[in-house]
Amino acid sequence: MQTITLNEKAQGKLNLANKVILITGAGDGIGRALAIACAKEGATTILLGKSLKKLEAVYDEIMSQNLPEPAIHPLNLLQAQPKDAYALAESIHNLFGKLDAVVHNAGISGQITPLEHLAPEKWQEVVQLNLNVPYLLTHALLPLLKMSDSPSILFTTADEAKQAKAYWSAYSASKFGVRGLAQSLHEELDNTAIRVNCINPGKVRTNLRIKVYPGIDPLTFPAPEEIVPHYVYLLSEQGKHIKGNLVNVA
Ligand SMILES: NC(=O)c1ccc[n+]([C@@H]2O[C@H](COP(=O)([O-])OP(=O)(O)OC[C@H]3O[C@@H](n4cnc5c(N)ncnc54)[C@H](OP(=O)(O)O)[C@@H]3O)[C@@H](O)[C@H]2O)c1
């Protein structure tokens, strides 16, 4: 995968009209801001997350702005099994008959600690959510994505997938794994219409980052709303030429 940096927001109007976009982790942080931004560009979003209350709040926010009505799919991805992924695919098929994009955004940092203190179940949680779930969902959703004219799969990596750091073993391993998954899938699908990319959002002011760096003033990090235009660009018709890339948000 070639690494590129998107340091300018796309100029002009981005087009997501009539697109159906599934966003995991849509109740908070980057996923929440992305769902609202996609709806503003005309997309119908499927909001997947753990907390129904948070998903309902995003739904209400989108509806209050008279944007396309989203669908809500509460699911604790830590417990997700293949049958849950197939049930999601079936439900999207019944509601929309296609899927134009999936953004694998839900993620956790897990315990930031020396490996010898890292409890096995904490390792498994991080790898389950950050790596196994993107595989499971992609596997179940590929047939639906193939029904779209312009399908897109966007995986989320992080700086820790460029250079692993001490105490971040589970997170780094999961994000390096996502890069490998995305690259392999891109190679398989390169001669099809399906675009596979990874995005590294950089440092963003969300609960995930604030929890891990409690000593840093959160205001030094950009808000999710400031970085999601890059995601929207990648998902839009205007970003259609970007394929098989690891995109860094500058
Ligand atoms: N923030 C950064 O600086 C940064 C940097 C690099 C990469 N990233 C990546 O960006 C992505 C989004 O992170 P964020 O910063 O926006 O974090 P966040 O604010 O903590 O949001 C994470 C989202 O994932 C969902 N989630 C967590 N556990 C879940 C579960 N068991 N089942 C279903 N959904 C679950 C959360 O839903 P609930 O709220 O309902 O639990 C929440 O919507 C992650 O993949 C992260 O690794 C973030």
Whole-number pLDDT of residue 15: 86
120-174: pLDDT as tens digits = 999 999 999 999 999 999 999 999 999 999 999 999 999 999 899 999 999 999 9
Whole-number pLDDT of residue 9: 57
- Three-state secondary structure string covering 121-158: HHHHHHHHHHHHHHHHHHHHHHHHHCCCCCCEEEEECC
Whole-number pLDDT of residue 24: 98
Identify whether 86 is a catalytic site residue: no
For the chain, list the domains and their CATH numbers: 2-202+229-249 (3.40.50.720)
Question: Which residue's CA lies nearest to atom 7 of ligand 1?
Answer: 158
Q: Mark the ranges of the chain whose per-residue pLDDT is less than 50.
A: none
Whole-number pLDDT of residue 46: 98
Confirm whether pTM is higher than 0.85: yes
Q: Which residues line ligand 1 (CB under 6 A)?
A: 25, 27-31, 49-51, 54, 76-78, 105-108, 129, 156, 158, 201, 203-204, 206-209
Contact between 50 and 74 (Cβ < 8 Å):
yes
Whole-number pLDDT of residue 12: 61
Question: Which residue's CA lies nearest to atom 44 of ligand 1?
Answer: 107
Would you report the helix, strand and coil content of the chain in percent, each value rounded to 5?
50, 15, 35
Contact between 62 and 43 (Cβ < 8 Å):
no
